Amino acid sequence: MLKRLASHGRVVLTLAVFAALGAATPFLNDYLQSIITRALVFAIMAMSLDVLVGYTGLRSMGHGVYFALGAYSAAIMIGKMNVANLLGVFGVGLGLSCAAALFLGLLAIRAVGVYFMMITLSFSMVMWGLVYRWHTVTGGDNGITGIIPPDAFGLSLQDPVLFFYFTFAIFMVCLGLLFLLVKSPFGKTLVGIRESEARMKMLGYNTWLHKYLAFVISGTFAGISGTLWAMLNRFIAPTDVELVTSVEALLMVALGGPATLVGPVIGAGVIMFLRYWVSTYIERWYMFLGITYIITILYARGGIIGLVERLWSRKEEAPSSAPDRRVATSLTTLEGRKQP
Amino acid sequence: MTVFTLRNLIELSYNSLSYAALLFLLASGLSIIFGVMRIVNLAHAAFFLLGGYVALTVYRVLGTALWTLPVAMVVGGSVVAGVAVVIERFFLRRLGQDMTAQVLVTIGFAFIFFDTNILIWTGDNYMLHRPWPLDDSTVIGGIAFPRYRAFMIVAAVVVWAILYFVIERTRAGAIVRATVDDPQMARGIGINTNLVQMSIYGLGVFLSAMGGVVGGAFLGVSPGLDFLILPYAFAVVIIGGLGSLTGAVVGSIVVGFMENFGTALFPELSYFALFAPMAIILAVKPTGLFGRS
């Protein structure tokens, strides 16, 4: 019984932290509230990317594509066509990002390693180029304004607190679904592919199909965060979906800890906090951001979760936690890094 | 559509070719760096811009005679290459082949440069001067050809010729090629591959920064230009194939023409027309047109 509880300890702890967050946020000041909402929106994007980068080992630089599709479809429907159906807006965003992932996956999954990175990077550029120059549809550089979130079940999402809970609920659902996904036998095959695709092939798995499904699922979830982002800001512009957005999502995964799902959520929280809170106090914001990138890579391999686990295991020296630690750091150790 | 009169075709082609020349100066270094080091260098366009800023200071000190242009090209290229070599030695080398780490560290440096540029040269937009006689146009048959664009084409051809000669015909080039083909074997026969990689990073960045000096009188020098042209650099090397010099030439020409003709023909979808073929080429041949896996 105790053992059983301990094995679920992480899940219980995670749920408790999120419950506390959900309970406390309405009492925080408006600015902190908005930062937390932003962090949750980006957390969905970072978690979905983690399925691809952390669990499957496919380093995508094209996640901004689905974010852009989710955001711009909402922007065009609400801001330009005056659609007031929340479910419809989310449905179209979800459908578009899923369709895009279905198509782009066909192109991308064949490529491996750096070429996968290049081809997904090119998707980012295509998407950015489209929204940047296609003025008649996307408003070009000026973006689209007036993306007022429609009412949900008779509740006005224009209220920041209600919008926070709306985002929070969607976030928890995404977290739950993605958690079930990575813990499922299918999720285990993804980790298997990351560790050794040849071996998985030999065992009879259709690795192409598994990678393709991971790609599609990951992209579809990223679309949700785009739709939320557009409604949260009530404004969308090409700068929201440029290449840097895709890279920033990668940073969130690396900073929090790849292949942990909760790690990227922490990463998203830290980055959003830095971007919206610290940047108001620091004059040289981009310098600070650049240094954050570099320090994360040089000193926080395995991410924040990896650091915590290392400290934890040093205290306990429990061999049972070894496999988990390996998952958390394998992204960095298995890529032929030169051993010092 | 007025694009397809002979006059417009000639003008557009001239513009495309000179734009392609600038893209070659920008992207050839990126391609070489990738070919030898397998590094995805997201700071490449930041080095390009930094070269332009250094040239700005060079012109302020030396004045604006014609001879200051080559001086600025060499000084700009060397100063920025020096910075890059330090970054390679103390940061990139520690990352090995971890691509996620390379991407995040190089973009981190791009952000740092973005900020230091503003700190040193303020956030103003500058246009580097075009020294006489490059500041004017030559009129042939009623069509004005800006001379500076011709200079960009000549500069790119000279750079290509030197690179081709060095890589294919010299001992240094042979060492580099050996390092590309089989780094382990190269180390085995006594080649210092670390030194080769550092030199190649320096060379690639030198080319980019020199391109920035040339391009500074064409695209201007302003904050954010780096992030604006980075996609073009990648478009060139992705189409041509990472690590191939011939690929960089072809990629530059393809992108140069598609950008200019695309903007003239269908301005709203020009980026789409530019980047979509790139995605398709990659889907068919993931290594690019001339790349090797």
Q: Cα torsion for A28, A29, A35, A37, to the nearest 10°?
A: 60
A11: CB partners within 8 A, 6+ apart? none
Question: Do the Cβ atoms of B111 and A114 come within 8 Å?
Answer: no
Q: Within 10 Å of residue A180's Cβ, how many Cβ atoms?
A: 11
Distance from CA of B263 to the nearest CA of A (A): 10
Distance of CA B140 to the CA centre of its chain: 30
Mutate to test the interface with A, among B102, B107, B118, B226 (most CBs of A within 10 A): B107
Could you give the C-alpha distances from A217 to A81, A95, A109, B139, B261, in angstroms and in order?
28, 12, 14, 58, 38
**Which residues make Cβ contacts (< 8 Å) with residue A52, sequence separation at least 6?**
A58, A60, A63, A214, A215, A218
- Among residues B193, B224, B229, the alpha carbon closest in space to that of B211 is found at B229
A57: nearest CA partner in chain B: B100
How far apart are alpha carbons A78 and A217 in whole angstroms? Answer: 25
A121 touches chain B (CB under 8 A): yes
Contact (CB<8Å) A290/B115: yes
Question: Chain A residues with CB inside 8 Å of B283's CB?
Answer: 106-108, 110-111, 119
At residue A38, what is the residue type?
Answer: R
Q: Spell B118-133 as b/e; 16+ CB within 10 A means b.
A: eeebeeeebebbbbee
Contact assignment for A254 to B112 by CB distance below 8 Å: no
With residue B140 as reference, give the H or E element that holds it. strand B137-140
Whether chain B has a CB inside 8 Å of the CB on A59: the answer is yes
Using the Cβ of A169 and the Cβ atoms of chain B, whether some distance falls under 8 Å is answered with no
SS3 B144: strand
* pLDDT tens series, chain A, 340 aa: 556 666 677 788 888 888 898 888 888 888 899 999 999 999 999 999 999 999 999 999 999 999 999 999 999 999 888 888 888 999 999 999 999 999 999 888 888 888 888 888 888 888 888 888 888 888 888 888 888 888 877 778 888 899 999 999 999 999 999 999 999 999 999 999 999 999 999 999 999 999 999 999 999 999 999 999 999 998 998 888 888 889 899 999 999 999 999 999 999 999 999 888 888 888 888 899 899 889 988 887 778 888 888 887 776 655 444 444 444 444 444 343 333 3
Which amino acid, one-letter code, is at B203?
L
